[in-house]
Amino acid sequence: MREKKEQEARMRSACEPVKIKICGLRTLSDVQAVNGQLPEYTGFIFDPSRKRYISPERAEELRRRLDARIRPVGVFVNAGTEEIRRVLEICRLDMVQLHGQETDEEIRRLREEYKGRSELCIVKAFRIENEEDVRKAENSAADEILLDHGAGGTGESFDWSLLKNCRRRFFLAGGLTPDNVQLAIEEAKPYAVDVSSSLETDGRKDPCKIRRFVTAVRGADEK
């Protein structure tokens, strides 16, 4: 039953415009830049080891400045349920993205804890090196999956042809730029594309690069 629903979701997403997620927001100027282009999702990184880390308190301040049409996502790396709970109590998020070695059991526990918030979506990221990695991602207990080159934030891409037979809809990340995103969409056929470092200049989100990226994605939809 679940596999059938996932295949139906993949078929529906193939007929819809590709969604965009811009990750790693840290400043008000970042928020203003994404508000100007209206991606469907934007991400706040809550892993202190990452250079784009933001505190939950500051993230909530920025979230309040986000256009209401943009869904805020929290990115965690092996954080544990208690830490995720702490962040969610401070910052209102629509999605929790898990970028570590979180197991299906941990995902189910998190889902059970927030069963009263049916709108809270859990996304699990997977490092893709071969078809076996794709099959593992397909079987995830998460609501959505994200397929990446590595642990996230590397700015490196991978062989998109590995995804052509993926049975679930997915977020595609890793090395996407305004120059290659149309090719990535054509080859991988993702539900959404996830980008961060390639849209920055001197460590800050660049409005011109964001505009170019969004224009490229929207242009791919029109082909």
pLDDT in the model for residue 223 = 57
Query: Would you call 23 a catalytic residue per the annotation?
Result: yes
pLDDT in tens, the chain (223 residues): 555 555 555 554 556 899 999 999 999 999 999 999 999 999 999 999 999 999 999 999 999 999 999 999 999 999 989 999 999 999 999 999 999 999 999 999 999 988 888 889 999 999 999 999 999 999 999 999 999 985 555 555 778 999 988 999 999 999 999 999 999 999 999 999 999 999 999 989 999 999 999 999 998 666 5
pTM (2 d.p.): 0.89
Query: Would you call 143 a catalytic residue per the annotation?
Result: no
Q: What percent of the chain has pLDDT over 90?
A: 80
Domains of the chain from N-terminus onward: 2-222 (3.20.20.70)
30, 47, 148, 194: which is the annotated catalytic residue? 148
* Model pLDDT for residues 27-51, shown as the tens digit of each residue: 999 999 999 999 999 999 999 999 9
Q: How far apart are CA 188 and CA 201, in angstroms?
A: 27
Q: How far apart are CA 173 and CA 146, in angstroms?
A: 7
- DSSP per position, 131-160: HHHHHHHHT-SSSEEEEESSSS-------G
Q: How far apart are CA 26 and CA 193, in angstroms?
A: 20
User: What letter does residue 40 receive in the DSSP assignment?
Assistant: S
23, 91, 121, 166: which is the annotated catalytic residue? 23
* Model pLDDT for residues 64-87, shown as the tens digit of each residue: 999 999 999 999 999 989 999 999
Q: Which residues of 25-51 are buried (b: 16+ CB within 10 A; e: fewer)?
A: bbeeebbebbeebebebbbbbbbeebe
